[in-house]
Structure 1
Amino acid sequence: MSSFQLSLNPLKEPLGFIKVLEWIASIFAFATCGGFKGKTEIQVGCRKFNDNKTVTATFGYPFRLTQASFEAPNNANVCDINWKSYALIGDYSSSAQFSVTFAVFVFLYCMAALLLYVGYTNLYRESRKLPMVDFIVTLIATFLWLVSTSAWAKALTDIKAATGYSIVQELEPCKHPGVMWTFGSVTSMGSLNVSVIFGFLNMILWGGNAWFVYKETSLHSPSNTSASHSQGGIPPPGI
């Protein structure tokens, strides 16, 4: 195996430069989703006690909303209702975790690929297997970015609906005749929108980079015969 020789020249070429962009974009893809925390607030009033309180449900990644129970100030039973026994509706953890986990794996793969590009450039370009493996992984990653981001975008749409105004129409306590309710607010999900944007951006980057990786494979490299002809001599004159 060739020894490690640091060379930054591959980073000046599309193959290495786009890989750096993929590495950065993958960080934004999983960080903006995996670090999200939010809450939904509902204003609850009681005709019997003439009292108004705010009940809150806190949710976040991985978005198992069924575990996000409502809480009242000082854990009080507002309107004689134990709000802890009620939670948001829906479990979107599969789509969220798939998207984040895949982005983390891509992040790690980009680091390994960059190390190979800048540290073992000759080994990569003299090998027939490494560029082919890189090309296959690039194609698979492009497809998985499309699948994971599409699934997460659909889940995000459902999460917005499940934590928005419609929640008061689903909660059983809000249907009691003695309970007056008003939807308060829900945390902005701008960072989650960013995670979807970066998911599709990653798909574009990986799809575009597939061509540059393909050029490094034996599928694109000319054969020895064609190479010799391209250099070769002048054909003999016809008689």
Structure 2
Amino acid sequence: MEQREEPDSGPGPTTCIAVVVLVAASGAVEAISFTALDHVFAGVMTSNLALLGMAIGHGGGTGVASAALALAGFGAGAGLVAWVTHGREEVATHWPARVMFCLTGEAVLLAVGAGVWAASGGAPGAVARDALQCGAAMAMGAQAAAMVAAGRAAAPTTYLTGTLATYIVRGVGRTRPDGWVPARLGALIVGAAAAMALRRVAPAWAGALPFVLVAAATLTAARPLLLHRSAGGERQA
């Protein structure tokens, strides 16, 4: 008899939760980056391009260097992930193994940054700030590219302007909007608020929050991938 393939129904709740947790991690990174690392963003390159133009127009060398450093780090992270995930499998129910590998690398990078942050007591010097800014931007670039590589099983996690606009347009157009969008928007706020609260009550530990969230998201997203591989093994048997 001819074997039928199961329909590609899209990501399940577990994968959607992992996306929400990654958004919270982005919020935490952006809060720390903007308030403690020379007032630039780690993942929002539209704003950094505007900040770069403002710094050039104002004649501020420090602002130019900070924005350029963030742009370079983001580009390096995104480019590396694009290279690693090239030729990935196309799935809509889970994140491919190469994407998971890249997110694990992001978690390691954030863990190193958390260690540097803790060693400085939450108040890094100029050189450490530059290194942390570049590392944070690289992590966000890697995360953004990983979500692009994951395709239909993922969603933007480092920039939500388009997500918000699409949600509004679909709502006005009376089509069914993505019910996970409010959760992602809320997670961005919660992640940023949690990072700022930690900076206030336990400055040395604030840098650990993004690592914890990315690690949690990666572990959460691993379950659908393992289930998919297990099901594939059973079909072959």
TM-score > 0.5, shorter chain as reference: no
Per the normalisation by structure 1, the TM-score is 0.36
Which structure features the higher share of strand residues?
1
Structure with greater Cα Rg = 1
Q: Which has the higher contact order (CA 8 A, sep 6+)?
A: 2
Which structure features the higher share of helix residues?
2
Per the normalisation by structure 2, the TM-score is 0.36
